[in-house]
Amino acid sequence: MRALIAGLLGCLLFTPATVFGDENPQLAGLDIDITRLSIEELLNVKITSVSKRPEQITHAPAAVYVLTSEDIRHSGVTSVPEVLRLVPGVHVARIDANKWAVSIRGFNGQTANKLLVLIDGRSIYDPLFSGVLWETKDVMLENIERIEVVRGPGGTLWGANAVNGVINIITKNARQTQGGLVAAGAGTEERFINWRYGYELAENHYIRVYGKGFEKDPGFVEGGADDRSSMGQAGFRYDGTLTNSDTLMIRGDFYDGSFGYPDEAARGEREGKGGNLLGLWARPLDNGGGMSAQMAYSHTELDDPVLGEVRDTYDFEFQHDLPRIGDHEIIWGVTYRRTHDDIRSSSLLGLTPDHRTDSVTGLFVQDDIALSRSVYLTVGSKFESNDYTGSEVQPNIRLAWRINSTDTFWAAVSRAVRTPSRLESDFVIQMPDGSTFAGGGNMDSEELVAYETGVRFNLTKELYMGVTAFYNEYDRLFTVEGSTLGNRAGGNTSGVEVAAVYVPAASWKISVGYSYLNMNLKLDRDSLDDPSTRIAGTEGQNPEHQAFVRLGTRLFKHYELDVAVRYVDELPALNVPSYTVADLRLARRINDNLELSIVGQNLFEDRHFEWGGNQVTQVEDSMHIKILYNF
């Protein structure tokens, strides 16, 4: 395979640009190259995940980081978790060849439950364990417009489980993806193909359809592993302008895949399939402000040797942006979620009852107040009612001093909660001695009070930086109390996150990220839990230091070179040493519509651990070639 890649690399380097068409370094069929943008243009990116309304990223009173479609293309990676490695403060660890642990500001694990992930505003966490099964939540990377990552609580607008952060994956409007695209690749570890086609149904009415599939080889473990995976997915998106400037977006996805365990002979294979449908209507108001309504339905089936799940979920949200009233900009809205599951138990683990219907009702309100021409105060709260803990209140207050058009100082105090999951509440395990270990039906919500401050500023016209510091106080954290579960732990975390972008010339971009995390957890005096497991184990599976440097440049008009070097500190609780690896991408733009690239990932080391435990394989270095063709 590497000999083949070497040959293709030679072709990539020496193929004339005119073989397939006229020379055009703009590559009109692809997105604009972000390495050609100035700092000013980069900072004009609009985001919506902080205030649920469009705002300039430099003005947002939160620790927010945006990955654009061009950041994703230049990374050369093939999955969303790999893209998230490029965000300061986000810990991404590959558990085996198909499973991931992703978290923000600590508490990582395969079922990390203090992070809310959305696709176009639709929550994709699984109420069974309040986490995200990343292996089944795939997105065609070429369809992503941007990924907004908010580090810190987002419960005021997004509700429970938005404790340590919010990741909102926003896909492109169908109008932006007219015509066809094929992205295909093969390498030492995986094969994949993505395609889409967009067309205009009528004036101001656009649609695209897409399909994707992949096969991934198993990871490395002595004696061999069986954690290979494969999945197929297809979907569509429609965007139209209706009467009175109303807009309507409808999108849907359908997937089916299989995901092996390293010791498949002992544990079997996990299979997952499902689909979702999302509709969003929006209307701007003549006197300013606007209204929107979103409805979503999702069906998921997970067939695991230990536990099976079939789930149907319905979501509704209405939002009203009021016209500006003096110095006040107010938004409010209501949310409703209803989810029904059927659980298949095994001899190892069961849930009682085996089917259940739960609902969550919420109301949110937030006011942005202009105290002066440069100082803005944001106050708001979300009020929710759920079937596990009853009523929850999640307020926040944020202050922003817009020093000038690019420099902002901000500070915030927020409260957020993580409600118990279905698994925590209702699981039952029969122990070998005949006793029962069961879920905590009287568990409370885990609680966070977060204190944050940050500054974004231009050092020069070529260099922009952002620095965030935080201190989090946790209470009522999950514990094991004898034969059941409880909430008898707490403590604090603190840290610093730094991000910088340097654009010294039109064809160069350098990004730097660093994060420091300190965790100090403790059990309550009356807790029966084991501190070596609950405290040292939790603290020791999150890196204290993380850092990356990314460089992107255009060479000789037709070539792009991207290099990313990542450092992740040790995970002492999992016996995972620190590691430094590099990703490299070299691309050749053949003509207006065709790009050929070669990508190396996890270089510097033949293989390394990113997670621990008995059922974990090592991550191997890999290479693949990719062809991107627009028509």
Nearest 5°: the CA angle 166, 109, 134 is: 60
The β-bridge partners of 336 are 316, 361
In angstroms, what CA-CA distances link 105 with 98, 250, 274, 564? 23, 34, 31, 22
The β-bridge partners of 520 are 492
Among residues 477, 454, 472, 591, which one has the least CA distance to residue 534? 477
What's the pLDDT score for residue 38? 56
Residue 35 backbone zone (phi > 0: left; psi -120 to 50: alpha; other: beta): alpha
Amino acid at 590: I
Q: How many helices (H) and strands (E) does the chain have?
A: 9, 36
Strands 116-119 and 165-171: parallel
Strands 579-589 and 594-603: antiparallel
Count of positions (residues) in the chain: 631
Among residues 617, 608, 627, which one has the least CA distance to residue 568? 608
In angstroms, what CA-CA distances link 465 with 63, 439, 456, 502, 513? 12, 46, 6, 9, 10
Inter-residue contact 375 to 132 (CB < 8 Å)? no
Among residues 446, 532, 456, which one has the least CA distance to residue 490? 446
In angstroms, what CA-CA distances link 462 with 69, 190, 456, 457, 510? 21, 38, 14, 11, 10
Q: 123 φ, ψ to 5°?
A: -65, 135
Q: 323 φ, ψ to 5°?
A: -60, 150
Among residues 251, 71, 90, 68, which one has the least CA distance to residue 147? 68
Cα(115)–Cα(150) distance, integer angstroms = 10
Residue 132 backbone zone (phi > 0: left; psi -120 to 50: alpha; other: beta): beta
Amino acid at 423: L
Tens digits of residue pLDDT in 372-400: 999 999 999 999 999 999 999 999 999 99
- To the nearest 10°, report the CA torsion of 88, 94, 99, 105: -30
What's the pLDDT score for residue 206? 98
Tokens encoding 78: 């093939």
Tokens encoding 182: 């094929």
Cα(414)–Cα(407) distance, integer angstroms = 23
Inter-residue contact 72 to 506 (CB < 8 Å)? no
Report the chain's C-alpha Rg in angstroms. Answer: 24
User: 7 by DSSP, 3-state: which?
Assistant: helix
Cα(523)–Cα(478) distance, integer angstroms = 10
**What is the model's pTM?**
0.93
Inter-residue contact 516 to 545 (CB < 8 Å)? yes
Q: Which stretches of 203-327 are assigned E, i.e. beta strand?
A: 205-216, 229-241, 247-260, 269-284, 290-303, 308-321
Locus of tokens 């690749």: 185
The β-bridge partners of 394 are 382
In angstroms, what CA-CA distances link 353 with 12, 298, 306, 389, 554? 59, 22, 17, 18, 59
Q: Convert 287-308 to b/e letters by CB count within 10 Å (16 or more is b).
A: eebbbbbbbbebebbbbbeebb
Cα(414)–Cα(119) distance, integer angstroms = 24
Tens digits of residue pLDDT in 219-274: 998 888 888 999 999 999 999 999 878 999 999 999 999 998 887 655 678 899 99
pLDDT along the chain (631 residues), means of 10: 43 42 34 48 78 87 94 95 96 94 95 93 91 93 96 87 94 97 97 98 96 95 88 98 91 96 74 97 90 97 92 97 94 97 90 95 96 96 95 96 94 96 91 84 92 94 94 96 94 97 90 97 95 92 97 90 97 96 96 95 94 85 97 95
Strands 308-321 and 390-402: unpaired
Q: Convert 393-407 to b/e letters by CB count within 10 Å (16 or more is b).
A: ebbbebbbbbeeebe
The β-bridge partners of 603 are 582
Locus of tokens 């006011």: 367
